[in-house]
Chains A and B, each alone.
Chain A
Amino acid sequence: MNRQRRTALQHGASLAGLMLSLGLMPGVARAQAAGFNRAAFDAKSLADVLKAIGAGTPAESKDINLQAPDIAENGAVVPLGASTTLAGVKRILLLVEKNPNALAAAFDLSDSIDANVATRVKMGQTSNVYAVAITADNKVLFAQKEVKVTLGGCGG
């Protein structure tokens, strides 16, 4: 298979594993109480191999615009945002792969809001960050990028 497809699958695999470990795969989530499952914030490990089955396999998508700097002068405050013009996005997730707990924030969107949110997160070290959009019909799309975290000046 060509390299792009392999890379896309690998990205999809690690994200799927990550989301499974967080209990965030849409099919799984529906079985839980309506409202957000806060156990998702306790997930510590990043699952690596693709196990996702059924609706909601994460797919990397150019339609998801991840706003994050290439390099952060300090890991305490890293701007992180997600936007997409796709219709029907119900939830946006922001994840930092190498943080002790990967999920940083989740946003439930009504129809009256653009799928465009931004906040600032703490990053413990250089890491991939993910912006994930989940649509009403359970499509899971994501973008990822590496954000370098540096220590500036005289030791922080």
Chain B
Amino acid sequence: MATDPMRIRAQAQGSNAIVRVLMMHEMETGQRRDAAGKTIPAWHISDVTAQHNGKTVLTAHWGPAVSKNPFLQFTVKGAKAGDKVVVTWKDNRGESRTDEAVVA
């Protein structure tokens, strides 16, 4: 599992939970060149899945245009304090990271 951290905040709001996620990732576009003129290869999160109480609620497909250290916000219906939210990202090098949070 990738070592750079991920922070998930899940806040109950009425019968929903607003989930905000920050993921540490370079999100290299593959458009840049290094000092020697060589293209720096694209390295970015390609997929993000979110689960609520064990059920997948969101699948995101990302290209390199998503910003570095990406932010993601979504709203889960029918969620309440104490529920578990799990977020997993996978990047184009096959690395991945999973973290979970409890709805507050």
Contact = CB atoms under 8 A, between A and B. Distances in A.
A103 B59 contact: no
Chain B interface residue number, banded = 20 to 34
B76 A122 contact: no
A96 B74 CA distance: 20
Given A117-B72, A119-B72, A108 B58 contact: yes
Given A112-B76, A122-B29, A76 B59 contact: no
Contact of B65 (A38, A81, A101): A101
B67 interface: yes
Given A76-B68, A121-B66, A36 B61 contact: yes
A12 B66 CA distance: 25
B52 A112 contact: yes
Interface string A94-137: 00100111011111111111101111111000000000000000
Contact of A119 (B31, B55, B56, B66): B66
A120 B68 CA distance: 9
Contacts of A122: 27, 29, 64-68
A71 interface: no
Contacts of A99: 65
A100 B63 CA distance: 11
Contacts of B65: 96, 99, 101, 103-105, 121-122
B55 A112 contact: yes
